[in-house]
Amino acid sequence: MTDRFAPGDLVRTSSRDPAGHSRLPRYARGAVGEVVEVAGHHPLADERARGRTAPPQAVYHVRFPAAELFGEGDHAVTVELWESYLEPVDRRGKGRP
């Protein structure tokens, strides 16, 4: 299994608002953060909550500046996120590299 992202990569979270359970917090949707580490490979919790089976995918610890999430703050927030929630971002913070 090849991981799409590595520590130091910039990623943007999905901004969609799916029906039902999601492990992507609303406050982190559409935000840009930095991958801190790969936290293993697990089935997508959203699918498991719906009673469906899902293949394992990479799960990442992603660090976001508080200002990116909340508009202010000088601290950081780290969120555990599945690979399917993320897309690559170049170092200027724009779209795909």
Residue 37, CB-side half-sphere exposure with 13 Å CA sphere: 3
Looking at every residue in the chain, the average pLDDT score rounds to 90
Alpha helices per DSSP H over 7-64? 45-49
Neighbours of 13 (CB within 10 A): 20
Domains of the chain: 10-89 (2.30.30.50)
pLDDT at 69: 96
For residue 16, what are its two tokens? 């969609």
| Predicted structure pTM score | 0.87
Mean pLDDT within 13-24:
84
Neighbours of 80 (CB within 10 A): 14
Query: Is 81 exposed, middle or buried, given 0-12, 13-18 or 19+ CB atoms closer than 10 A?
Result: buried
For residue 89, what are its two tokens? 């971002």
pLDDT at 67: 96
pLDDT at 18: 75
